[in-house]
A = this chain, B = another copy of it.
Amino acid sequence: MKKTVWYRKSGKEGDVVISTRIRLARNLLRFPFPDFASSEQKETILDMVSKSLASSDLKSVNLGKLEKRELLSMVECHRISPEFVEYTENRGLFTNEDETVSIMVNEEDHIRIQVMRSGLDLKDAYKEADKLDDLLESQLEYAFDKRLGYLPQCPTNLGTAMRASLMMHLPALQETGKIHLLSGTVSKLGLVIRGLYGEGSRAEGAVYQLSNQVTLGISEKEAIENLEGIASQIIREERNARKELCQNPVYEDRVWRSMGVLKTARLLSHEECSNLLSNLRIGVALGLLPDISMDTLCGLMCDIQPATIMTLCGKDLEANERDVKRAELVRERL
């Protein structure tokens, strides 16, 4: 068992907000974007970033030494982007001990600073990202335009080049269908909300990501305050919807049954397991299941994912073998 990292514990407003992420995209002056840069140029960039981070507590991760499943597990735990693992040559990753910081080098942009926190913690996460940004900027020359702001490869990031997002658990808004209304409303306010796993109208495990869409003509502070304000409203609405749903004995029954199945099943697919854990989260949030902690559920939500299960087992597994291991893991923890 690894030590408790941010993605295995719950934080502020943890009944609804699973985690916070701040991501800054930065590029170096006089270098082509990674997609157009030569191997030599990318190696130079990696070297420059590495030197700039020498005084920080970040350590370089030896990507070449990692198994594919370990890289994919880092994606599942939201430590790195899915695009980052498509290939690892001439790319770099710097991370700290508690895994809250990931600096990806030569992903879509030369530098992507990512800071994660359990629960709702936008200001603190931004503060840390900003500090790292300052450290790098004091030694590197960024591609920056006084009028436009930071110049990232993708024009939709132009300006602050900051993406702030919250991973939220919204089962009651999903159940009542209010999530669809919400989706229209937040887009008018410069935000976007989308199901984090699964396709179609129902997000697997009812996990949604709320993030800022606008990066131009707005300061980082304003963007974060805007996001925080709307998140507070959504949190309130989700809590009210939960209270209402729980008047219905069918809903309480579902929470209990979910626990029954999780505690006994010998085979659990990722999708079913996510949805059952989602039901348990509500049970814990509503005080129905005093013996289970939200930390346990956060850890499980992370660890039941395919590549993470395989990483914990230290070997690749077929889907049906994963279902067995997943059920074992869940029984062990609950």
Contacts and interface: CB of A to CB of B under 8 A. Distances in A.
A267 B255 CA distance: 11
Interface string A42-82: 00000000000000000000000000000000000000000
Nearest to A267: B253
A229 interface: no
Nearest to A266: B253
A260 to B, nearest CB: 3
Interface residues of A, number: 18
Interface string A256-296: 11011111111100000000000000000000000000000
A316 B324 CA distance: 44
Interface string A237-253: 00000000000011011
Residue among A250, A259, A260 facing the most chain B CB atoms (10 A cut-off):
A260
Oligomeric state, in number of copies?
A: 2
Interface of A: 249-250, 252-253, 256-257, 259-267, 320, 324, 327
A139 to B, nearest CB: 57
Nearest to A259: B264
20 contacts: A249-B266, A249-B320, A249-B324, A252-B266, A253-B265, A253-B266, A253-B267, A253-B327, A256-B264, A256-B265, A257-B261, A257-B264, A259-B260, A260-B260, A260-B261, A260-B262, A260-B263, A260-B264, A260-B265, A261-B261
A264 B263 CA distance: 10
A252 B69 CA distance: 29
